Homo-oligomer: A and B are copies of this chain.
């Protein structure tokens, strides 16, 4: 039996085209016809290769995340001996790059945003697989940074502050109707610079929270 290369090629063309179209138009507005046209394949090819539009969508996600997980690991390549501030910096660096770096994650950042606004009931496990470890990592680092005086709510709020600073950068693309977050084209240099800023900003914020809570506890103690 002859193995035809165009079978695989056609599948990959579809994946690439789908990523672009899904990112640009969103799941709903994206049509299989458009995706097929962009991929240079015929209109039945989506169902042929992926069974349905849904499954194609999932496949796009999977591919994008696998790529991102490899290129930007959550620990940033640091070993366990690194200091908490260093590890926080690495985590932020990882998050930002996964979201913003087109060359790497493809259009997943854009799709992620849509998924946040319009969960497609189709993704589920993929997301959990990716998000859960990140959260655990973040909470570990934060625990160390906030110290023993911090309570669950401190932890959660700080987690929010940090993650949201990163996550919301995916808003950057909303071109027409919103003031764009970034005026310039996004380069790797800018991403790195922003990661550094968020790290600095957040470490200071965490310290402030730690100090305040410590004071409150001492005050409470003294009041008794």
Contact = CB atoms under 8 A, between A and B. Distances in A.
Contacts of A9: none
B209 A116 contact: no
A82 interface: no
Interface stretch (A11-19, A65-73, A100-108, A119-127): A119-127
A171 interface: yes
Given A176-B124, A197-B157, A116 B119 contact: no
A169 interface: yes
A209 B179 CA distance: 24
A160 B169 contact: yes
Nearest to A194: B157
Q: How many residues of A sit at the interface, in one of the four size bands?
A: 35 or more
Interface string A106-150: 000000011111110101100110011001000000000000000
Contacts of A197: 157, 161, 209
A78 interface: no
Contacts of A200: 205, 208-209, 212
A171 B179 contact: no
A153 B204 CA distance: 19
Contact of A165 (B161, B177, B193): B161
A98 B54 CA distance: 34
Given A118-B117, A179-B135, A204-B204, A164 B174 contact: no
4 residue pairs, one from A and one from B, having the closest CB atoms: A204-B208, A164-B168, A201-B205, A117-B117
